[in-house]
A and B are shown apart, each in its own frame.
Chain A
Amino acid sequence: MSRLVAELPAPTGTKPAGTGRRRRSRQERLAYTILLPALGTVFVIVTIPFVLAIWQSITADDGTLVGFRNYTRALSNPLFYDALRATGLYALIVLPTEILLGLGFALLVHRAVKRAGLRATLYVLAVLPLVVPPVAVGVVARLIYAPGYGVLNYVLQSVGITHSEIQWLSDPLLAMGSVASVDIWQWTPFVYLVLFAGLQTVPKESVEAAQVDGATWWTQFRYIELYYLRPLFLLILFFRMADVLRVFDHVFILTGGGPGTATQLLSLYIYRIEFRFFDGGQAAALAVLVLVAISILYSLVTRALPLERA
């Protein structure tokens, strides 16, 4: 906002004598007026709930102040650390896989597919998983992985790869892999679309010059294309990390957080604290802790991957 205001023409009138504060010019007032509805909306839908969450996290059900008691209860619950561990493992599986696969597809299409019609078809196909409701994705995934009638086991046994059912959702590691695979299916296209769009911004002259100089596909990617994609990686990480913290539907449908607590991710855990335990104070404390943690994580990522092209 300050940048916008700074770019506006300087005030033309002279400062009235005897006043300590500079009067805002008409353009400045217009800028603030235009911004007001947007800022007001942000205040209503973001700031107020956040302040309420902080308030709820330091009060009991009857509204009395309890200090940091809800935070200490949240941090002393071993299930919180199980959920944290499960979420970390989930993120470690899905984020690198989605980025590598999405990057691979983007490079492949960018370099190998030149026909506009085919590119448009691939674009539509990539958008499809993104618009399917997560609940529907979860239900379909359950039909694939379910014990007893799961399509995947049927196919594997039919072609002779396995001779007995693989317990995709009952074994802790396989269950985590199964729920992660659903995420990867749904969100790799997002990474592909973003990176493919980024590749379109790479100047052809630079690429052609490099090719004339004998650059291999790897050096072309490493020293030219990657340079343009770096800020997009940051964008993808921001979005996907936020999404990983919100994952709920397909995990709930596929495993219900089990076996045991193996796939009980933070979102499911907080849901249960709020709507099964009806412990609003602890749930709010957990939400605030997650927000603080993710903010720190974001700042670390920003430092590691500067947004500006250096």
Chain B
Amino acid sequence: MQRISRREFVKRTAVTGAAFTSFPALLAACGESTGANKVSKLVLAAVQGNEDGPLKKVVGNYKSQTGIEVQIVEFPYDSLFSKLVTTFQANDSSYDLCMMDDPWMPKFGTMGALQPLDSSFGFTRDSDIPTVVYDVGTWPPPHGPVPPTEQSKAQHLYGITIVGNVEMFMYRSDKSSAPANWDAVLANAKQFNAANFYGYVIRGKATNPVSSDSLPILWSFGGNIFDDTWKVQLDSADSITAVDFLTRKLKQYAEPGAANFDAAERSQAMATGKAYQSTVWPGEITGIVEDPTVSQVKGKVAYIPIPQGPSGKGLGMMGNWLLGIPKGSHNGSAAADFIKWMLKTENMRNYVAQGGVPIRKSILNDASLAAANPYFKALAASFDAVPNWRPRTDQWGAVETSYGTAMNAAVAGQLTPQAAMQQAASQIRATMKGAGYPS
């Protein structure tokens, strides 16, 4: 074996190392140059769970039809949000598409993190899709208060809903008729509450869960987090009455340990026949309550829009999951084609067959699909009633954390409804003032 000098060894090592380290970069560069002509793969950042399950099942069809692979990279809910924020801050090109919960839209809209779908890729509104579905993906928001820094921006469509989530209400239809309002909900809770059978289920876990669970009640009672000028309303009489209704009156008939109940526990309680009624998201219905392999109550539960409160309105809450195209993506056009493909009626029908939540009115009102999807009628009605969305502010994460922590303390009995809402209002006022909103 030929002996080499130390200097020669170092030199050869350096050259070999450089070659190895630059090889992937060369490959990537080659990929980019060919990618300008034809994209072979799109990378989609998705939320792990019921929301992306049906999507994973239909992307194979897209590959067989177009030859383009859609690689789905999954993250848990909170991780996806922080991952997307840091990716957008770096204008990174890792993802060509991203799934976004609709309350994230203000953050991403304010950051200017997404490519406009209307002006860049020719998306127009389809009359078969509810207006509010387009509105929720539009930034700045077409109605309601607009953040001070965003008022001069031109409106564009940045996200298209692929999971038409609206919070609804479920009850055991084998035991009673539908409650007309929240008073009837309370009466039914009292009537049907029994040992090992909860009259009502509160999804009371801290922050996002209890916030989602309580906002429809807050709105239906005339309360709110903000008014139209961003003034905090949580310590108003109507808001406190709503919180009192949930955390004291309904809680009397709710499950023990409500302060730690999340969606999984609620669905489990309903599916095992231990509960009479609660609010519900479509994913819980298809994933658990109506799944014959795990549910003991299939066919015994009915779904209706959120019942009316003293305000005369029953306001469901949007929780749409949208698809958007990050500004950093080099494959925007191909990504837009995938979104258009998802929206086609025949593809959405297939998506529904895989457990997807549709947004087309024609599908939601299709009688042939109603038996397999007993919540479609209620979802269509919820869209018609125009559900509320969570306040369109990039401070929503902070607002939800303050509100959800105080609500959790109220559900746990640590704070009175009034003290909880005063605490939340005080924290949210400080947050909003610091962010330049009128306090």
A256 & B205 in contact (Cβ 8 Å cutoff): yes
Q: How far is B396's CA from A276's CA once the two chains are assembled, in angstroms?
A: 8
Question: CB-defined interface of B193-218 with A at 8 Å, one 1/0 digit per residue?
Answer: 00000000000011101000000000
The smallest beta-carbon distance between B385 and chain A, in angstroms, is 30
Interface residues of A in 114-150 (CB under 8 A from B): 146-149
Interface residues of B in 194-244 (CB under 8 A from A): 205-207, 209
Interface residues of A in 196-247 (CB under 8 A from B): none
Question: CB-defined interface of B61-89 with A at 8 Å, one 1/0 digit per residue?
Answer: 00000000000000000100110010000
Closest to A175 in B: B260
The smallest beta-carbon distance between B393 and chain A, in angstroms, is 12
A259 & B398 in contact (Cβ 8 Å cutoff): no
Say yes or no for B255: interface residue by CB 8 A criterion.
Answer: yes
The smallest beta-carbon distance between A174 and chain B, in angstroms, is 10
A148 & B409 in contact (Cβ 8 Å cutoff): no
Say yes or no for B94: interface residue by CB 8 A criterion.
Answer: no
Question: CB-defined interface of A66-97 with B at 8 Å, one 1/0 digit per residue?
Answer: 00000000000001000000000000000000
Top 4 closest A-B pairs, CB basis?
A147-B257, A258-B206, A260-B409, A259-B412
Interface residues of A in 248-281 (CB under 8 A from B): 252, 255-262, 264, 272, 275-279
| A264: B residues at CB distance < 8 A | 405
Say yes or no for B400: interface residue by CB 8 A criterion.
Answer: yes
Q: How far is B259's CA from A149's CA once the two chains are assembled, in angstroms?
A: 15
Say yes or no for B408: interface residue by CB 8 A criterion.
Answer: yes
Closest to B81 in A: A275
Q: How far is B207's CA from A262's CA once the two chains are assembled, in angstroms?
A: 13
Residue positions of A touching B, CB distance < 8 A: 79, 146-149, 164-165, 167, 169-172, 175, 252, 255-262, 264, 272, 275-279
Q: How far is B265's CA from A52's CA once the two chains are assembled, in angstroms?
A: 42
A277 & B397 in contact (Cβ 8 Å cutoff): yes
Q: How many cross-chain pairs have Cβ atoms below 8 Å apart between A and B?
A: 102
Interface residues of B in 403-423 (CB under 8 A from A): 405-406, 408-409, 411-412, 414-415
| A256: B residues at CB distance < 8 A | 205-207, 209, 408
Residue positions of B touching A, CB distance < 8 A: 78, 81-82, 85, 107, 205-207, 209, 255-261, 265, 268-269, 274, 394-395, 397-398, 400-401, 405-406, 408-409, 411-412, 414-415, 427, 431
B414 & A146 in contact (Cβ 8 Å cutoff): no
| A252: B residues at CB distance < 8 A | 78
Contact residues of A: prevailing secondary structure = loop
The smallest beta-carbon distance between B265 and chain A, in angstroms, is 5
Task: With A175-B260, A257-B207, A272-B401 given, name 16 new contacts (CB 8 A).
Answer: A148-B265, A148-B269, A148-B274, A165-B256, A169-B257, A170-B258, A256-B206, A258-B206, A258-B259, A258-B408, A258-B409, A259-B206, A259-B408, A259-B414, A260-B406, A260-B412
B405 & A147 in contact (Cβ 8 Å cutoff): no
Q: How far is B85's CA from A279's CA once the two chains are assembled, in angstroms?
A: 13
Q: How far is B439's CA from A178's CA once the two chains are assembled, in angstroms?
A: 40
Given contacts A170-B412, A256-B207, contact A261 B405 (CB under 8 A): yes
Closest to B420 in A: A260
Q: How far is B255's CA from A259's CA once the two chains are assembled, in angstroms?
A: 15
B256 & A147 in contact (Cβ 8 Å cutoff): yes
Closest to A135 in B: B76
Given contacts A172-B414, A256-B207, A277-B431, contact A146 B397 (CB under 8 A): no
B412 & A258 in contact (Cβ 8 Å cutoff): yes
| B205: A residues at CB distance < 8 A | 255-256, 258
B401 & A276 in contact (Cβ 8 Å cutoff): yes
| B427: A residues at CB distance < 8 A | 79
Given contacts A149-B268, A258-B205, contact A167 B260 (CB under 8 A): yes
Q: How far is B195's CA from A164's CA once the two chains are assembled, in angstroms?
A: 10
The smallest beta-carbon distance between B147 and chain A, in angstroms, is 14
Q: How far is B206's CA from A252's CA once the two chains are assembled, in angstroms?
A: 10
Closest to B261 in A: A147
Q: How far is B15's CA from A272's CA once the two chains are assembled, in angstroms?
A: 46
| B411: A residues at CB distance < 8 A | 259
